[in-house]
Structure 1
Amino acid sequence: MQLFVDNLTNVDFSYLDDERGLVGETWLASVLLDGGLDQTSMIWDFGVVKKVLRNWLDDELDHRLLVPTKSQRLSYEINQDRITLSWSFGNDNVLTMDAPLEAVALIDAKQINEQTAAKWSIKQLSNHFPDNLEHIQLTFEAEEINAAYYHYSHGLKKHDGNCQRIAHGHRSRIQIWCDGARDRNLENNWAERWSDIYIGSEEDLISISDNEQAQMHFAYDAPQGHFELTLPKKVCYIMPSDTTVECIASHIAQILHDENPDSTITVKAFEGLNKGAIFEV
């Protein structure tokens, strides 16, 4: 007998990739359970399934940086409740981070993808399953998007929740209207501009190294602790404000309006799946 819950929840996070570096991502999670019936003639109560699995995913993956601990590109050190790490990617690019340990998920794999993250999650969840459950299949998949989108990472130091973590992210659609007409070219241009980008706030930018491989160093204090992140300048975009989705929608709209001063610009910026902000100027 099998029990399924499609689109159980979604997780927004960033991960370390061999070539792309820091990648913001959003996955939908679904689950398929194999087992015998219990005394209530159920494999597992839907309400309990949703509560246990959704809460675990929210706590252990959502708004974290997923780190492949078996990768030779990684070096890291844990000191009590903090982690420092260094990651090499692409052609001589380096990312470093110093943050509270709760800001990362240490995935026992050489690389991060839907399959390795699911395998690790099931292993971590094993002691939460009832005795009659014989097998669990957890699947992650990205939203099907037939239009412009970008992957971005950021951190919101003023946020009371997990958005304050300096390296979490989203895979997000972008929709733009010029004088009431949908403009696919503007959407594609902005998606290309923000391909695998780190969006940093100007006030969190501590320094920029002056060398051939210029690095940007971000740091701030938040309720969960002190955060620092350094990564190549070429993968960073600096905003003069916070990097909330509200500020992102406003920022994009203002820039496009400056480029098209005689037009009305409307921007619908998504933050992950089915949520975001709209700004018109």
Structure 2
Amino acid sequence: MVKSMTGFGRAISEEGTSRSFTIEIKTVNHRYFDLNVRMPRTLVSLENKVRETINSKISRGKVDVFISQNSYDEQDREICFNEEISDNYFRCLEKIKGKYDIINDISISLIAKFPEVITMEKKEEDLEQVWESLRTPLIEALDGLVDMRKKEGEKLHEDILVKCNNIKQLVDEIEEKSPIVVKEYKLKLEGRLSELLESTVIDENRIATEVAIFADKASIDEEIVRLNSHVVQLKENLLKEESVGRKLDFIVQEMNREANTIASKANDLEIVNSVINIKNYIEKIREQVQNIE
């Protein structure tokens, strides 16, 4: 089943925990896999795990991931006393008192106000525990994204199949018309020669030779076989459970190549008009394939 490269997924971790995560993932079409993750600096060490998880479910497209965190645990920080800095401040105050012979008013509140004496620091977290809290909403957002990509992929699949059937019908019409072109050419050639030569006897062998040369130049049997084969390959790849976007793009290019060859070789207006319609369907398929993973 094909998947579109366009999608969106969002999830929020369950309430009642010390922290919550909000995760949003959006994807658009891209020739390769391009992943951009935006997350708090405190979670940067988990980025590789986030990337591996996403890459396990998405193989192609431009992927933007936004992770935000809210912490509700008041005990995740601790008050720290920097004894060395406090001692230095105290010694400096003692020197000032001795030099200027002033009243000693050194107090705890005074020293505590100096920078870096008392600080609030975040406790070191258990990254495995944080990852378990993050992983659940990440998977949920990914599942929502993949589900959206599958649904859009189903619509693309159905529409491409309709266009493939239309192309097959036009190719069948061209195949049926192709032998008639040679016969019409022979009749036109005989008519023109009759007008030019009038009473002179026409050399049938010469006419047969000219018709054979024309038939060889205008033969589109191989192109028709290849074009039909490409249509079958396109349908078969649409059913595969893997990333097929780039392969489909290549098949569509080959279909367009065969259609151009048929148009250049077939000396018939009706066939050329059919090829124009085929190329129109191929172009529409090409645009849709650009958005398939």
Q: Same fold (TM over 0.5)?
A: no
TM-score by length of 1: 0.27
TM-score by length of 2: 0.26
Query: Greater helix share, 1 or 2?
Result: 2
Query: Greater strand share, 1 or 2?
Result: 1
Structure with larger RCO (C-alpha < 8 A, sep 6+): 2
